[in-house]
Amino acid sequence: MPIVILLDRASKPELVRAELARSWPRARLIFYQRPVTAVELVSGVQSALLVRLRQRDVRDHIGQEMELRRELNHRVKNILASVTSIFEMTRRGATSLDAFTDDFRGRLRALEKVHSAVFHAAEGAVSIGDIATLTFEPYRLVGQERISFSGPLMNLGRESGTTLALCLHELTTNAIKYGALSQPEGRVTLRWSVIDGVQPELALEWKESEGPLVIEPARAGYGTRYVRSALAAVFGRLPTIAFEPDGLRCSAQGPLSRLSATDSSQPR
Amino acid sequence: MREQSRGPAFMRILYLEDNPLLAFHVEQMIEDLGYVSAGSLSSFAELKEKFQSLQFDAVLVDIDLVDGPTGPDAAAWLQKRGIPAIFVTGQAQVAARHHDISLGFIEKPISPSDFAEKVELFRSRSTGS
Instruction: Over range B49-72, report the average pLDDT.
Output: 93
Nearest to B35 by CA among B9, B65, B56: B9
**B28–A225 CB contact, under 8 Å:** yes
Residues of chain A with pLDDT under 50: 263-268
**How many Å lie between the alpha carbon of B81 and the closest alpha carbon of chain A?**
24
Q: What is the pLDDT of residue A77?
A: 82
**How many Å lie between the alpha carbon of A55 and the closest alpha carbon of chain B?**
30
Q: What is the pLDDT of residue A140?
A: 72
The phi and psi torsions of A34 (rounded to 5 degrees) equal -65, 145
**B90–A89 CB contact, under 8 Å:** no
Is B67 within 8 Å of chain A by CB? yes
- What is residue A89's three-state secondary structure? helix
Is B92 within 8 Å of chain A by CB? no
Which of these ranges, A123-127, A195-199, B18-22, B115-119, has the smallest mean pLDDT? A123-127
Instruction: Give the chain A residue whose CA is nearest to the CA of B88.
Output: A81
pLDDT digits (tens, 9 = 90+) for A161-211: 999 999 999 999 999 999 999 998 899 999 999 999 999 999 999 999 999
CB pairs under 8 A between A and B: 72
**A265–B27 CB contact, under 8 Å:** no
Instruction: Give the chain A residue whose CA is nearest to the CA of B66.
Output: A264
Tell me the domain boundaries of chain B.
8-127
**A82–B23 CB contact, under 8 Å:** no
Residues in A closer than 8 angstroms to B27, CB to CB, are 229
Instruction: Give the chain A residue whose CA is nearest to the CA of B112.
Output: A88
> Would the pLDDT of B8 be above 80?
no
Task: Give me the residue from A225, A229, A264 closest to B67, CB to CB.
Answer: A264
pLDDT digits (tens, 9 = 90+) for B29-58: 999 999 999 999 999 999 999 999 999 999
Residue B109's pLDDT band (cuts 50, 70, 90): confident
DSSP letters, A193-241, are EEE-SSS-EEEEEEEEESSSPP---SS--HHHHHHHHHHHHHHSSPPEE
Residue B73's pLDDT band (cuts 50, 70, 90): very high
**B19–A84 CB contact, under 8 Å:** no
Is A92 within 8 Å of chain B by CB? yes
Instruction: Give the chain A residue whose CA is nearest to the CA of B62.
Output: A78
> Would the pLDDT of B129 be above 80?
no
Residues in B closer than 8 angstroms to A81, CB to CB, are 19, 21-22, 90, 108-110
CA–chain centroid gap for A169, Å, is 18
Is B42 within 8 Å of chain A by CB? yes
What domains does chain A contain, in order, with CATH numbers? 2-59 (no CATH), 94-260 (3.30.565.10)
Residues in B closer than 8 angstroms to A234, CB to CB, are 20
Instruction: State the Cα–Cα distance between residues A144 and A183, nearest whole angstrom.
Output: 12
Q: What is the pLDDT of residue A141?
A: 61
Fold of B8-127: Rossmann fold (3.40.50)
Q: What is the pLDDT of residue A142?
A: 55
Is A165 within 8 Å of chain B by CB? no
